[in-house]
Structure 1
């Protein structure tokens, strides 16, 4: 299994202690955690996008550009790019810029978005988000794969022979599809032969397994190679301690206050309620990673029994001091990741994955580019200017 640190950049006050930090400090923490994740050997880092509620991730491409510029190995992704409300031409331009900055390390997750308050802000009527997502993704695919694109649709003005710039670093980046409550996104992923990312954030395990099973069936029915039906899974709140009882005692009051806040009218999308209201039930059967390293490893493998997933995402508990969050990352890297990697191997991002060697599959490898530069230097050495010329 591969592992990703995901931050949707919530800007929350701890409901128990009242602790809060400034926006600039919160954004700095996001970038620090991304660099730290790379140093600790995580495979990917991702940032979410929200335009309503207590989040600082509306300018996610700006943040991803900073991550790209300050890391060198880790894959860079989104969780999620709310394509249903965005202009696909701007998405093509902005994310290709991040792809260039990262030299081909970008993969994005697209979705309709579960925050209904975002829709009217961008002129999308409730109920249209699924159609908007499908249409805009079809256009995004063309913009990243073709030049001089001529197009007409419902959700943006027509295009006439448009080539988006910059071009992606080495062919179109891989696109995952976020799935939380309906089969629609799972079907769209299967149609295009793309991987699926299950939210796995607040509902029981079986609710997400139904969507994943639907995706795999449709993926095969569409004629795609089932070896590449990759699945990612998110998680609810993370809190790691020496023992599970210690973790529940330390984080339980905060968790239960967060659930109470989420369940208030207007704070959640109908049909997407949190069903595990106390910390004991959440640890036993919910989508949280709260407990000892052994408990967390066992929980991930319990999900893997149902999901067969290839990528596991973690989100840090941003309401607690950042030093404590980073210490949890350290312990995850040292005590959890090796156990799960051994028990649940995957071909994702390996030589068997069509995107595993990106950019090699879509263009020159980094080594090829370096060799060409070196060859050019050898053939045309730089000469000092002639002072008498």
Structure 2
């Protein structure tokens, strides 16, 4: 099993202290967390893309380029690239450049990822967002694989023998499809034989497990080999301590502060108590053995081989956060790596044959 540390670069007051870091310091924290993730042995570091409050992750290529410069081994992920909002030509140019600068350490997770404010900012509607996502991805795929591209597009000017530079380092880049609640993303992933990454954050396991089952069905419908399926899954929180009681004691102020934030903002509350959150959400809160057992319970339904964890302290002190990550890597990760297989492809740069020149 492989492990990612990801951040959406949320920028709001600390849920416990109420203090909000300056923007500059928040970005510095992201870079420090990327270096820490590599130091501790994580397999990947992911940066989200959002274009609305309270996120400052509107430029993941810029952030990941800096991460590429200060790390050497760890793979770089987007979480997610919101292709329904982007011109696929411009997105290709940015990510192909990052791919070179990182020497092929880039993986993409794409998805709709649209809140209302984002859609309005980019003039995308609920009615056309899925078609935009599919069209952008189809063009993006072609640009990565072909020297010249012709595409009769609806949502950007059509392309006629278009050449886009630079040509990529990886041929092609691996693209995962992020899925939270929709069968559209799942079907798009299955159609192209691409891996799936389940958000697995907001709700209990059932809706995510149902979408993954649908993905497997559609995968076979499109004629792909089931042995080639790769699935990733997210988590709603992380705190690994020596005992379960210590984890509950430390995490309770965070949970209660976040619960108050959701209620004040009028957001839906799925888990009303910390005990329910620990039991029924995907959060990994407890002793090392509790975490191992919970990941296995999820694996029984998902069959996933990649797991993402929060790179941010998110209300923990810096010491609590680092201690939790260190304990995860020293006691949890080795056990899971031993019992859960890796994805069915090499964890490194993709070098297919050079594309034929037109």
Separation of aligned partners in 1, 2:321 and 2:338:
25
- Aligned residue in 1 for 2:44: 44
Deviations 1:118-174 (A, max 9, x none): 101011012221111011100101111112222232211222322221121131201
1:286 paired residue among 281, 288, 298: 281
Give the alignment's TM-score, normalised by structure 2. 0.94
Distance of 1:16 and 1:101 partners within structure 2: 38
Residue 322 of structure 2 is aligned to residue 326 of structure 1: yes
The equivalent of 1:387 in structure 2 is none
The corresponding residue for 2:294 is: 299
Quote the residue 1:198 is aligned against.
Answer: 198
Deviation at 1:318, TM superposition (A): 2.5
TM-score when normalising by structure 1: 0.86
Deviation at 1:28, TM superposition (A): 1.0
5 Å-filtered alignment, 1:118-133, equals: 118-133=118-133
Give the RMSD, CA atoms, in angstroms: 1.7
Cα pair 1:252 1:278 within 8 Å, conserved: no
Query: CA separation of 1:345/1:86 partners in 2, compared to 1, >3 Å: closer, same or farther?
Result: same
Equivalence for 1:342: 338
Q: How many angstroms does 1:58 deviate by?
A: 0.7
Residue aligning to 1:180: 180
Residue 96 of structure 2 corresponds to residue 96 of structure 1: yes
Query: Paired residue for 2:26?
Result: 26
Partner residue, 2:208: 208
Indicate conservation of the 8 Å contact 1:33/1:326, yes or no.
no
Aligned match of 1:358 in 336, 349, 354? Answer: 349
Determine helix, strand or coil for the equivalent of 1:63. Answer: helix
2:153–2:159 CA contact under 8 A, matched in 1: no
The structure number with the bigger radius of gyration is 1
Q: What per-residue deviation string (whole Å, max 9, x for no partner) do you get for residues 182-234 of structure 1?
A: 11100110000000000000111111000000001110111112112100000
Tell me, in whole angstroms, the C-alpha distance in 2 between the residues paired with 1:180 and 1:81: 14
Post-superposition offset of 1:264: 5.2
CA distance in 2 between counterparts of 1:37 and 1:222 reads 37
Would the alpha carbon gap of residues 28 and 362 (structure 1) be closer, same or farther in structure 2, given more than 3 Å must change?
A: farther
Give the distance between the partners of 1:162 and 1:341, measured in 2 at CA.
Answer: 44
Q: Which has the higher contact order (CA 8 A, sep 6+)?
A: 2
Which stretches in structure 1 are left out of the alignment for 5+ residues?
268-272, 364-389
Q: State the alpha-carbon separation in 1 of the partners of residues 70 and 353 from structure 2.
A: 24
1:164 and 2:155 equivalent?
no
Residues in 1 aligned to 2:200 and 2:54: alpha-carbon distance in whole angstroms: 21
SS at match of 1:181: coil
1:5 equivalent to 2:1? Answer: no
Pairwise CA distance, 1:288: 1.0
Counterpart for residue 276 of structure 1? 271
> Partners in 2 of 1:360 and 1:163 — Cα distance?
21
What secondary structure sits across from 2:50 in the alignment?
A: coil
Question: Per-residue deviation at 1:240?
Answer: 2.4
**Number of residues paired by the alignment?**
353
SS in 1 for 2:178: strand
1:342-376, CA deviations, whole angstroms, 9 ceiling, x for partnerless residues?
Answer: 12122x2xxx51x545344456xxxxxxxxxxxxx
Q: Is the Cα contact below 8 Å between 1:147 and 1:164 reproduced in 2?
A: yes
| Cα distance in structure 1, aligned partners of 2:189 and 2:350 | 22
Q: Say if 1:202 and 1:274, in contact at 8 Å, map to a contact too.
A: no
Displacement of 1:334 in angstroms is 0.6
Gaps of at least 5 residues in structure 2 are: none
Structure 1 position 19, deviation (Å): 2.9
Q: For the Cα contact (< 8 Å) 2:216–2:226, is it kept in 1?
A: yes
In structure 2, distance between residues paired with 1:74 and 1:195: 19
1:226-305 residue pairs with structure 2 within 5 A? 226-263=226-263, 267=267, 273-305=268-300
